[in-house]
Amino acid sequence: MEVSEYRRVYANVDLDAIEENIRQMELQLPEPVPMLAVIKTNGYGHGAIAIARELEQNTAICGYAVATAEEALELRRAGMKKMILILGYVFEKDFEALIREEIRFTVFRYDMAQSIAAVAEQLHKKAYVHIKIDTGMHRIGYAVHRQSVEEIIRISRLDDLELEGIFTHFARADETDKSHTAEQYARFDQMIGWLGDEGIHFALRHCCNSASILELGEYHMDMVRAGITLYGLWPSDEVDHQFSLCPALSLYSHIVHIKELSAGEAIGYGGTYVTSKTQKIATIPVGYGDGYPRTLSNQGDVLIRGKRAPIVGRVCMDQFMVDVTHIPDVACMDRVTLIGRDGKEEITMEELGDRSGRFNYELACDLGIRIPRDYYKNGTCIDEMNYFA
């Protein structure tokens, strides 16, 4: 891949890796089933619009899942035509715009459904909803009991509402022990059965998240939701790593300064690292203002010329320092790999998450808007997203 024009910090996103991850997930399902690509939080930090543009052409992807009205409308305004489902609560101020754009609502209260229906009636347009069932996550959703069935029946009688889907979310599918997930699936199936007895049926029943796509494909139902694995990242350490996932994002910077310090010199805020001998120290112009974790202070590594260089001192808002004493011929403007591979060495999102006290989801989502993203297909940059251009 070519080196980006952005020298301070930049991310490369490999769209071919995302396509391969979709293919690998499809192989785990007993039969073909539509896949909803979860691209909330700016595509887990990878860039929602660029990824959606790629996936508009992928026949395995039936639509996108997001968390907020703003994320959904951003996709529509960028030209995305496929189904969009908002997984969380939607505030009434956004109802009209969402109904006009045929964006799907998650519904778990009658008063919310009633308000959506009222706006849909004013617009003379159908509103599509997915009923959320709480089978053990205890976040949002209808509890599995008869009173919930009665309320959903009332919702089904509202004019201008189309009950397109019903779904739940697994709380512990990424654990080795799948018994809790099996219990959740059984509760969900029971709720679907009760509603079916009342003549209420759904075109899209869905419960599988990334971990259950990989390990519990028999729960696929009518649709699955691919999240973290879409980006080649693991749901947890307990998920079987035999599957071929390809990390999509790599992160780079460049050395901007090198100095030689004598023994006994304190480095950075608080002087938390003191040189033990004559050492060569390089400055990297990236920091926690970019989403690079401050907790990697004196903990993390970067890759320079195929070798690991340890972080010394505290990570600052916009810069941090590394020890390059052991790297021959190191020079200013040498490329620095923060996430990704250089020669035989690799730093993964999972490694950085473990070493920083975060986890890979959080680390990916926290990569900030100061980091330009370059999108590659077949080794060629096809799109650049720089929020400061």
Pairing of strands 279-284, 273-274: unpaired
Q: Stretch 87-96: mean pLDDT, rounded?
A: 97
pLDDT of 126 reads 97
Q: Is 243 exposed, middle or buried (0-12, 13-18, 19+ CB in 10 A)?
A: middle
Rounded Cα–Cα distance for residues 15 and 47 (Å): 11
Query: Could you give phi then psi for residue 238, rounded to 5 degrees?
Result: -85, -15
Pairing of strands 345-347, 373-377: unpaired
- Cα end-to-end distance, the chain, whole Å: 22
Check whether 152 has a pLDDT greater than 90: yes
How far from 296 is each of 5, 311, 356, CA to CA, in Å? 27, 7, 5
Q: Stretch 194-216: mean pLDDT, rounded?
A: 97
Give the confidence band of 387 by pLDDT, cuts at 50, 70, 90.
Answer: low
Give the confidence band of 5 by pLDDT, cuts at 50, 70, 90.
Answer: low
Using the structure block, give the residue that is written with the tokens 């490694």.
351
Domains detected in the chain? 33-230 (3.20.20.10), 249-385 (2.40.37.10)
Give the list of residues 6+ apart from residue 134 with CB closer than 8 angstroms, or none: 108, 140, 141, 142, 143, 144, 168
Using the structure block, give the residue that is written with the tokens 């974790």.
293
pLDDT of 6 reads 56
Of 39-43, 290-294, 359-363, least confident by mean pLDDT is: 359-363
pTM of the model: 0.94
Active-site amino acid positions: 40, 269
Question: If we measure between CA atoms, which residue out of 64, 109, 118, 67 comes closest to residue 88?
Answer: 67
